[in-house]
Amino acid sequence: MPLKGLTSEFVEAATRTIEKATTKRTHLGVARQLLTVQDGEPRISLNPMKRVDEGLTHAQRLRAYEQVYDTYLASIPAHLRRLVNRFTRVDSVRQIVGVGSVGMRVWLHLLEGDSGRQPVFFQVKQATTSVYEEFLQPRAFDNHGQRVVAGQRLMQSASDMFLGYVRVDGYDHYVRQFRDMKIIPSGEQISGYLAQFAAVCGRALAKSHARSGDPEAIAGYIGKGKAFRAGIVGFARAYAAQTGADHDDLRAAIGAGTVQAADRGW
C-alpha cells in the first residue's frame, strides 16, 4: 500500500494493521485455523458453510486433485515445476464461495513441503467468460484461467509466483496461493479513514490500468475536464443508492415472511 502523502494517523493505523495481519495471513496461520488430525494425518477441517467434501472419500479427493496438479504443472515455468514437484498432496476440499464468486467452483488444496511437513495451501478458482467479450474482440487465450493469470501479472507490480491455470472436466480455473500474506482490511479498520483509503485504492487501480492498457488512449478518453470524474461519482452514488434500496427490499421481504433468514451466517 503506498502510504506517502497520507496523514500520519492513517499511516500509523495502516502500519499496525499490516504488521498484525501479515503474521496471521500466512500458510502457517491457515494451518492453525483449518487443519485437524485424522488417523495421525493432517486434514482440512470441514464446515458446512465454508468447506465440504461433496461426499467424496479421501482417496477420491486425491485422485481428483491429480488432474488439477498435473495440468497446473504444465502452465508454470520449468524452475517452478521443479519447486512444486517437491510438494506432496495431502488433502483437498470444495470451498463455499463468497458473494463475488456465486456459481463458481473453488477448491482448497493442502500440500506439504519435503522438509519438516511445512504446510502449503493452494486455491483453485473457476474462471469464466469476461463480461467484455460480448462487446469486444474474443479473448486471445484458449483458457479463461490463463486470461486471468496474464491480467494479474500485467496489472500487479508483484503477483503470486505460483499463479497458474488448469482445465478440468471442461471448466477453466486459475491457481494461486491461499492467504499468502494477502491483507483484506475490515470496514471497522478503515471507517475512520475511508476517504484516504479510497484515494489510495484509486491510485493503485489507475496505475494497474495504465500498466495493462494504452496510457495515451486512457488519458485521451478521460480528458482534462470534469466529465469523467462527474460520471464516476454519479455512478458510485447511484450504485450505493441501489444497494440501499435492495437491502430495504430484502429486510421487508424477511419481515413479511417471503424470504427466510437465519439469525447468523454460521
**Predicted confidence (pLDDT) per residue in 142-194, tens digit:** 899 999 999 888 888 778 889 999 988 788 999 998 876 566 677 777 777 78
144-155 helix and 194-212 helix, angle to the nearest 10 degrees:
110
Q: How many domains does the chain have?
A: 2
> How much is the pLDDT for 10?
64
Q: Dump pLDDT digits (tens) for 83-96.
A: 888 888 888 888 88
With cell 452514488, the residue in question is 237
Q: Dump pLDDT digits (tens) for 211-242.
A: 888 888 888 999 999 999 999 999 999 999 99
Quickly list H helices, 52-181: 58-73, 78-84, 144-155
Residue 168 domain-assigned (yes or no): yes
Domain end marker among 177, 195, 216? 177
Domain end marker among 177, 195, 213? 177
pLDDT band at 133 (very low <50, low <70, confident <90, very high): confident
Residue 255: half-sphere exposure toward Cβ, Cα within 13 Å: 6
> How much is the pLDDT for 164?
93
> How much is the pLDDT for 1?
47
* 88 lies in the same domain as 140: yes
> 121 is written with which cell numbers?
495451501
CA 12, distance to chain mean position in Å, is: 26
Q: Compute the distance between CA of residue 65 and CA of residue 69 in angstroms, rounded to an integer.
A: 6
Phi, psi of 126 (to 5 degrees): -65, 140
Task: For residue 123, give the 3-state DSSP assignment.
Answer: strand
* 138 lies in the same domain as 165: yes
CA distances for 171 relative to 105, 106, 129, 144, 220, angstroms = 9, 11, 11, 9, 38
Mean pLDDT of 46-50: 84
Containing structural domain, residue 134: 26-177
